[in-house]
Amino acid sequence: MIELSAEQLAKAEAALSHIPGATQKAAVAAINRAAQSAMTAAARSARENYYIKHGEVLKTMKLYRATPTDLAAMVVSRGYALPLTKFRISPSKPNPAKAAKARWRKGKSSALVARVRRGEGGPIPGAFVARVKSGHVGVFRRTSKAKYPVEHLYGPAIPQMLGSRSVSEAVEKRASEQLGARLNHEIERLLEGYR
């Protein structure tokens, strides 16, 4: 939740007391701009820590804007666990003909390599890439020696990524920096327009 502190609100009130309704206008504009900036920072920070596309992160996020009656904005992320194909995997496409040959390299079984978080990851024994009847391409692993059943493998959900300490600290820092700067800017803008 992004909201003004009592000091910031008092500062805006003191500077804009002679203009009716200007305090709320400045506060709402500053909070909303800071929230938008926090949303962008969250997507950027998630991309820096995980092998995920910027658009994938933004798709799960929603911004609840501040209003003159409610001087608080909120950035919310909702989503499910992502299939491993949304991250960096090798091989990335199903190729049954090559798979039979590649299954054994130099007398050893080769495994699919998955990287979800930057600097981490590695081989997943028994995992393979396949296209199912619906056309969906996914990473699967057999649950027994038999051909079926297979389990679909997933990585973390985007809200889980955004909740990690490194990402949330970067977002909070960016929001607080931006809020102070935007409030000063909005106060100056309203004072210039009033003269």
- Residue 121 one-letter amino acid: G
E-strand ranges in the chain read 2-3, 61-64, 72-77, 81-83, 88-90, 104-105, 108-109, 112-115, 122-124, 127-131, 137-142, 150-152, 154-157
Nearest to 158 by CA among 83, 97, 85, 77: 77
Strands 88-90 and 81-83: unpaired
Q: Where are the domains of the chain?
A: 2-80+158-193, 83-156
Q: How far apart are CA 30 and CA 134, in angstroms?
A: 47
Which token pair is 84? 């491993």
Q: What is the DSSP string of 143-173?
A: SSSSS--EEE-EEEEHHHHHTSHHHHHHHHH
- 173 close to 2: Cβ distance less than 8 angstroms: no
Decide: 47 and 61 in contact? Cβ < 8 Å.
no
d(CA 128, CA 99): 9
pLDDT, one tens digit for every residue, the chain (195 residues): 787 788 887 888 888 888 888 888 899 999 999 999 999 999 999 999 999 999 999 999 999 999 999 989 999 999 999 999 999 998 888 877 666 566 566 666 667 899 999 999 999 988 889 999 999 999 999 999 898 899 999 999 999 999 988 888 888 888 888 998 999 998 888 888 765
